[in-house]
Structure 1
Amino acid sequence: MILMSVVTAIPCLHLACTRETPKAVSTAKPPPTPALLEAGQQLYNKQCAVCHGPKGAGDGQAAHLLYPKPRDFTQGEFRLVSTDTMQATDEDLFLTVTRGMPGSAMPPWELLSPEQRWALVYYIRHLTGASGSIDPASIIHVPPETLKTAEGLERGRQLFAQACASCHGPLGKGDGHQTIHVDNLGYPIKPRDLTAGIFKGSSESKDLYNRIVAGLPGSPMPSYAGVYTDEQLWELIYYVQSLVPPGVEERVRLRARHIRARRIRGGIPLEPTADAWRTAHPVWLALTPLWWGDDRVEGVEVRALHDGKELALHLSWSDPTRDSSTIAPQDFSDGAAVQFSLEHDPPFFGMGDAGMSARGAVQIWFWKASWQDDLAGWRDVENQYPHAAVDWYPGQRTYQHGEPFEVSQAKTASQDPEFMGGWGAGNPLSDPNRHSAAEEVVAKGLGTLTSRPPALQRIQAKGLWENGTWQVVLRRPLTSNEAGDLSLRPTQQVSVAFAVWNGHVENRNGQKSVSIWHALQLE
């Protein structure tokens, strides 16, 4: 089959495929061929269709969880263009695939080989139904940059106040008086907070020139072609760049990292503040919220240790509030999860892929602050509403007829499990006698998350919130004899991804901040 000959000739996207220092790779555009188009279709189905939909209509299985919404390719309209006709060139699409779309859930795909990225470009063109033919005369010519001066920055500030502040705000924080707009499909769209370092494309001078001259098709951002001189445009660009604090843009950009699990002796502490964790190298991993908000969790710092018998991961992230109650319907818990894939070429980073083999299911360690508190005693409605009126129920094991009955006596643990559906059926989430602040779950795509049986739950965890920061340690034996269970060994490298929930902003279930795949290397 032609497809197999093409795909096997193209490197995979896993970090294990790029352990050596990467050599210079040509990004030259290859000619479109049926084989390359077929390879693009396979990549699209594996990595893109879950959001953009099987036909590219922006209606993938995950689309309802995402904001901004996935692009509808069938409309043939793209945000990032370098032409004065609002058409995207193939090179524009290639850059978008490579960089991702900061400010959305679309990750960068720079780990794909250039040929793979071009294959995706050609397949996306196929989904639009357009040939991709662009009039060369429509391509925006970016003139040489002018000298940056203090006087020019001041003029740029004045231009910003005149042309941009009504949407982006006087200080570029996205808080102008016209704060809510809709895109061409009617979805709400907010002006970008330029100080956060989140740019569609990047803040490089050439990219900003194209954004200002071409506008953002399908959004309220207009074109300023012919409105200002080139000198004025460069002064405006320099001012916009000055709004971004040094290092911020790189800090929030999703990039694949290597995490090294240092081998130690004497056991791994579960206490997050133990001295042993200071010996592990911290790695900062940027996160992106699936449903975008300015109060997002920007990233998580990860450390890893193992002793040949157990593996432990130390996660820390900023969170101004400690949210650990889920009793009231309006309350949601802080949480964190680590996702593992043993596949050489891992599945889609969002909960795996139903089309993968049994070994391709992702394994997840999931911690919640509410479970942490439940270790001191299961909390239920009697804790939230201690003065509620209650009645006696047949499942009550300790009540004697004729005695006074108070809500404090109605605790879940005092009931007969046969009258408590989840607990009686063995659901670990319903068991009031919790033994760990975390659980092990498996998934093969959205909607397939499944708790492992209680007998196979070997994860231990402890979280500590202090001074606006969570520190969480998750620890588990390296090996397992159970089929389909996560089993690791020293010197092994696996793919890992991370997720964080902020209960204060009502994160729960699919509303969370996530990372892309990273490489975890055990010493």
Structure 2
Amino acid sequence: MIEKRRVRTIAWVSFSGVIVCLAGFTAIGRGSASAGQDAAAKAEPAAVSRGESLFLKYCALCHGDRGDGAGKFAYLMNPRPRNFLRDDFKLSTTQNLVPSDDDLLRTISRGMPGSAMPPWGHLPNADLKALVAHVRKLSVEGARARFDPQVHDGKMSVEERDRLVAERTSPGGPIIVPAEPVQDDVRWFRGRTLYLEGCASCHGADGHPRPEAVKFDADGYPVPPRSFAAGIFKGGMEGSGLYCRILKGMKGTPMPSYETAFTADEIWDLVHYVQSLARAGAQDRAQLRQGTLVAANTYGALPDGPDAAAWDQARPLYVGLTPLWWEDERIEGLVVQALHNEKELALRFAWLDPTRDDRAVRHDEFRDAVAVQFSLESDPPFYMGSPGERGGVNIWMWKADRQTNIDRGYQDVDAAFPQRAVDDYPYPAFGTEKAPAPELSASAPITQHHPLYLTAWGAGNLVADPLLKTPVECLTARGPGTLAGKPANVQIVSGKAVYDRGVWSVQMQRTMDLPHEHGAADERVFRRGDYIPVSFAIWNGASGDRDGRKSISIWQKLVID
């Protein structure tokens, strides 16, 4: 029997509130300023301490150790990670826009579709509450730090500072949401009219935002208006949540409050109209979830390519992706399958991509690519590995340009600039020891030249090797800044790909054991019955994806049957 374990959420760099009905109205959110002079101080000390440990483990790489939004990987992300030292929380259901504990719990549990913030709902409830307490503590500390200079200069008393801090960080009373009316054609028409009047100048008449409407958030970063047509809302698209955000606005962003502009009925008409603009199913597909990928035993030969009929017998798993640098036009997810025959493991990846980007020679060309990441430990690291004997990850990365190099010949400057003019000077031919053996023109195919005169190739750089036999690169990492490729003589992951009518299909394959002479403890060995945390990433060349700019999944579960 395979033991079930919890798997952490984010891989690549990671609100269940009570609803109270009151006479046809819904109260959303909890807490009030009078109920807590300092919400963080009221939290159990053990919970705050536990929350800090969890925050450093799961959140600090993005949000920073201090919670200032300046983590090591924040530069890769748009929207930027939240700065908890400010009191600007976007998602709140309280009158004063200070989020209740339920608001924070909901956001942490669900994540924020439309950003790189992953869901953490798989964590134990006690851990989630501890994280809420720590985020609250960071907010209080940030507010206190803003008033401390005035206390130091004698312009404000400690008591006055504490009063202002409590006022700014204690959740207000809940927003009372009127009962949702039944939608009809008249209400739709009124919603459309109100939308054109109050929303279209930023979000566009058809729900596609206007490029010139980009404004800036409280930290000075550009904030494009949300695309309603794309159908992805950071706080979800439930009616009550949209009602609150239209009524009160979104703190720290250019989204204003319409509390004095529209009546309750008009806000509901707007809510329903905005919901009607959304692409069906988009919100659900953007919600990252954990799943189980089962590698079945074929008891025979594995498929010889990603388009082989044998893959029809493998159970597919859809894995949602989110771009670190958000784009509405993106790769939403991929379908993954796995098979083994006790000697080799094969994985198949398929995803929709309207453009085939299989060359990366010019400065403005970027390749399509897909990667799978295997954790070396059962409790996976937050990001691409962590220091320690078993804290690493093993990555297989297929690259479309390498596939083209193998299938159609090495794509060098000759392919990018076929009509170029070159200065001609003699090269010794490949295979000769020294000049003046048979001389070649500079325009001769690269494989005829001697690597001595092509230094990257001569130095063993896989990127520049025109004789490379596999489009898949095997890499390892043990934390930020440690990603490294394996030497050419131990690159044993094979691969093959097919692009057909807007769909990439890629197969990667490797022996389940490693050769005795391989000598590497930082690559994954596969055994029947294994439970392995895996995650996936895709680079879309047409969007300029490269390096840390990519779309990622959260950790999934691979079971070798």
Give me the TM-score of the superposition, normalised by structure 2: 0.83
Instruction: Give how far 1:385 is off.
Output: 3.2
Match of 1:209 in 2: 243
Provide the C-alpha distance between the structure 2 equivalents of 1:289 and 1:99, rounded to a whole number of angstroms. 17
Match of 1:515 in 2: 553
Counterpart residue identity of residue 393, structure 2: V
Contact 2:427 2:435 in 1 (8 A): no
Match of 1:100 in 2: 111
Instruction: Give how far 1:13 is off.
Output: 4.4
Match of 2:75 in 1: 64
Instruction: Give how far 1:383 is off.
Output: 3.2
Match of 1:43 in 2: 54
Provide the C-alpha distance between the structure 1 equivalents of 2:361 and 2:462, rounded to a whole number of angstroms. 17
- Among 445, 450, 465, the alignment partner of 1:415 is 450
Query: Over aligned residue pairs, what C-alpha RMSD do you find?
Result: 2.8
Provide the C-alpha distance between the structure 2 equivalents of 1:475 and 1:132, rounded to a whole number of angstroms. 58
Matched ranges for 1:350-499 at <5 A: 350-354=383-387, 357-376=388-407, 377-386=409-418, 387-392=420-425, 397=430, 401=436, 405-409=440-444, 411=446, 414-417=449-452, 419-480=453-514, 482-499=520-537
Contact 1:316 1:471 in 2 (8 A): yes
Match of 2:36 in 1: none
Instruction: Give how far 1:100 is off.
Output: 0.9
Provide the C-alpha distance between the structure 1 equivalents of 2:502 and 2:344, rounded to a whole number of angstroms. 29
* Residues 43, 162 of structure 1: alpha-carbon distance in 2 compared, 3 angstrom cutoff: same
Instruction: Give how far 1:402 is off.
Output: 10
Contact 1:13 1:113 in 2 (8 A): no
Matched ranges for 1:202-281 at <5 A: 202-281=236-315
Instruction: Give how far 1:379 is off.
Output: 2.7
Contact 1:396 1:410 in 2 (8 A): no
Deviations 1:415-466, CA, capped at 9 Å, x for gaps: 144x544433433333221010101101122321111223322101111111
Q: Which structure would you say has the larger Rg? A: 2
SS at match of 1:196: coil
Match of 1:160 in 2: 195
Matched ranges for 1:320-335 at <5 A: 320-335=354-369
Contact 1:304 1:313 in 2 (8 A): yes
* Residues 15, 443 of structure 1: alpha-carbon distance in 2 compared, 3 angstrom cutoff: closer
Provide the C-alpha distance between the structure 1 equivalents of 2:445 and 2:54, rounded to a whole number of angstroms. 54
Instruction: Give how far 1:70 is off.
Output: 1.0
SS at match of 1:112: coil
SS at match of 2:444: helix
SS at match of 2:175: coil
Larger RCO (CA under 8 A, 6+ residues apart): 2
The total of aligned residue pairs comes to 501
Provide the C-alpha distance between the structure 1 equivalents of 2:17 and 2:5, rounded to a whole number of angstroms. 15
Counterpart residue identity of residue 550, structure 2: K
Counterpart residue identity of residue 43, structure 2: P
* Residues 216, 137 of structure 1: alpha-carbon distance in 2 compared, 3 angstrom cutoff: closer
Match of 1:20 in 2: none
Instruction: Give how far 1:178 is off.
Output: 4.8
Provide the C-alpha distance between the structure 1 equivalents of 2:121 and 2:289, rounded to a whole number of angstroms. 9
Counterpart residue identity of residue 261, structure 1: A
Contact 2:476 2:522 in 1 (8 A): no
* Residues 139, 470 of structure 1: alpha-carbon distance in 2 compared, 3 angstrom cutoff: same
Instruction: Give how far 1:86 is off.
Output: 2.5
Matched ranges for 1:133-152 at <5 A: 138-152=173-187
SS at match of 1:194: coil
Provide the C-alpha distance between the structure 1 equivalents of 2:172 and 2:58, rounded to a whole number of angstroms. 34
Deviations 1:311-368, CA, capped at 9 Å, x for gaps: 11111111111111111121111110001113222111x32234xx221201111000
Instruction: Give how far 1:64 is off.
Output: 1.1
* Residues 346, 86 of structure 1: alpha-carbon distance in 2 compared, 3 angstrom cutoff: same
Instruction: Give how far 1:97 is off.
Output: 0.6
Instruction: Give how far 1:391 is off.
Output: 4.2
Deviations 1:353-402, CA, capped at 9 Å, x for gaps: 34xx2212011110001110121433322333344313436775469659
- Among 4, 8, 14, the alignment partner of 2:7 is 14
Contact 1:351 1:362 in 2 (8 A): yes
Counterpart residue identity of residue 432, structure 1: P
Contact 2:203 2:227 in 1 (8 A): yes
Deviations 1:284-316, CA, capped at 9 Å, x for gaps: 111111111222111111111111221111111
* Residues 433, 151 of structure 1: alpha-carbon distance in 2 compared, 3 angstrom cutoff: same
* Residues 13, 163 of structure 1: alpha-carbon distance in 2 compared, 3 angstrom cutoff: farther
Contact 1:282 1:303 in 2 (8 A): yes
Match of 2:159 in 1: none
SS at match of 2:189: helix
Provide the C-alpha distance between the structure 2 equivalents of 1:248 and 1:118, rounded to a whole number of angstroms. 29
Provide the C-alpha distance between the structure 1 equivalents of 2:18 and 2:554, rounded to a whole number of angstroms. 24
Provide the C-alpha distance between the structure 2 equivalents of 1:470 and 1:410, rounded to a whole number of angstroms. 29
Deviations 1:133-182, CA, capped at 9 Å, x for gaps: 7666542112222222222222222221211111111121223x753111
Match of 1:5 in 2: none
Instruction: Give how far 1:71 is off.
Output: 1.1
Instruction: Give how far 1:84 is off.
Output: 2.6
Counterpart residue identity of residue 67, structure 1: N
Provide the C-alpha distance between the structure 1 equivalents of 2:171 and 2:478, rounded to a whole number of angstroms. 45
Matched ranges for 1:161-200 at <5 A: 161-175=196-210, 178-200=212-234
Counterpart residue identity of residue 326, structure 2: W
Counterpart residue identity of residue 239, structure 1: Y
Deviations 1:227-269, CA, capped at 9 Å, x for gaps: 2222222222122222224322112211111212222122212
Contact 1:390 1:406 in 2 (8 A): no
Match of 2:540 in 1: 502
- Gap regions ≥5 residues in structure 1: 1-10, 17-23
Provide the C-alpha distance between the structure 1 equivalents of 2:481 and 2:88, rounded to a whole number of angstroms. 31
- Among 320, 326, 332, the alignment partner of 1:298 is 332
* Residues 322, 97 of structure 1: alpha-carbon distance in 2 compared, 3 angstrom cutoff: same
Give me the TM-score of the superposition, normalised by structure 1: 0.89
Contact 2:305 2:496 in 1 (8 A): yes
